[in-house]
Amino acid sequence: MNSVLVLDDHGIVRYGLEMLISSCAELTLAGSAGSLAEGLRCIAELKPALVISDMSMEDSRGIDTVRAVVQAQGPRSTLIMSMHDEMLYGEQVLALGAQGYLMKENAHALVVPAALAVLNGQTWVSQKLNAKLLNRLMKRNSHEPARPDAAHSPTLSARELQVLELLGAGKTTKEIAFELDLSNRTVDIHRANIKRKLGLKSGTELLAFALSRI
């Protein structure tokens, strides 16, 4: 039986996911946890076939959460569910070893098919993100320019995503440097790279973007 562990710090979301998973004959609910620390303990004890994890919880945030869950799961499957912009985060989530990325707004309709797909060895992403990834692969193989529709889907590095998350949380450059153990100059370089990749003209535009998308 395909056992599933749910990690989310919102009780109502956990309950909804538990009900959806329990309603599927091909899945069995192994348990749930409301924090990353509790979730990592459950992974070690229960060894679920699949972990469905929120990307941000009270005791962990963003890419750091994904990295910890994927590492704990090892060769078993991980599906990341988040409200964060898929076109910014999806590719990095897959690069870290997760097998799927699901936007929370679609979870009620898609979490069961996403879980089954991942458990069957498939990668689950939206059609939009899939088109972006295929376009990049085609460009790499053919050495031709990417299609225009992919030009507006920038790829940020894991560190740039961390900086963007902290900007969205209202952190200053000095605070970000302290939290990530970086110099202020390095943070400023990351900020400049983010602005360039996203086509933003000023620090004000960058902050507005971070607050609206993170």
pLDDT digits (tens, 9 = 90+) for 135-190: 666 665 555 544 444 334 567 888 888 888 888 888 888 999 998 999 999 999 99
Single residue among 105, 126, 147 that ends a domain in this structure: 126
Left, alpha or beta for 47 (phi > 0: left; psi -120 to 50: alpha)? Answer: left
Residue 49: inside a domain: yes
More confident residue, 4 or 140: 4
The token pair at 145 is 């320019």
Taking the alpha carbons at both ends of the chain, their separation in whole angstroms is: 36
Confidence check: pLDDT of 197 > 90: no
Quick one: 42 and 102 in the same domain? yes
> Which residues lie closer than 8 Å to 78 by C-beta, 6 or more apart?
50, 51, 53, 66, 69, 70, 97, 98, 99, 100, 118
Quick one: 114 and 172 in the same domain? no
Quick one: 164 and 62 in the same domain? no
pLDDT digits (tens, 9 = 90+) for 75-128: 999 999 998 878 888 888 998 999 999 999 999 999 999 999 999 999 998 888
Q: DSSP labels for 46-62? A: H--SEEEEES-BTTB-H
The pLDDT value recorded for residue 145 is 47
CATH number where 171 lies: 1.10.10.10
The pLDDT value recorded for residue 1 is 74
Please report where in the chains the tokens 């990095």 appear, as a residue. Answer: 92
Parent domain of 168:
158-213
Residue 153: inside a domain: no
Residue 166: inside a domain: yes
Residue 94: inside a domain: yes
> Which residues lie closer than 8 Å to 139 by C-beta, 6 or more apart?
145, 146
Quick one: 100 and 16 in the same domain? yes
CATH number where 76 lies: 3.40.50.2300
* Helix (H/G/I), strand (E/B), else coil: 41: helix
Residue 35: inside a domain: yes
CA atoms within 13 A on the CB side of 107: 25
More confident residue, 130 or 15: 15
Please give the Cα distance from 161 to 145 (Å, whole number).
25
Quick one: 61 and 164 in the same domain? no
Cβ atoms of 105 and 83 closer than 8 Å: yes
What is the CA angle 183-189-191, rounded to 5? 105
The token pair at 181 is 């153990």
How many domains, in total, are found in the chain?
Answer: 2
Give the pLDDT band of residue 31 (cuts 50, 70, 90).
very high
pTM of the model: 0.74
The pLDDT value recorded for residue 147 is 44
Residue 141: inside a domain: no
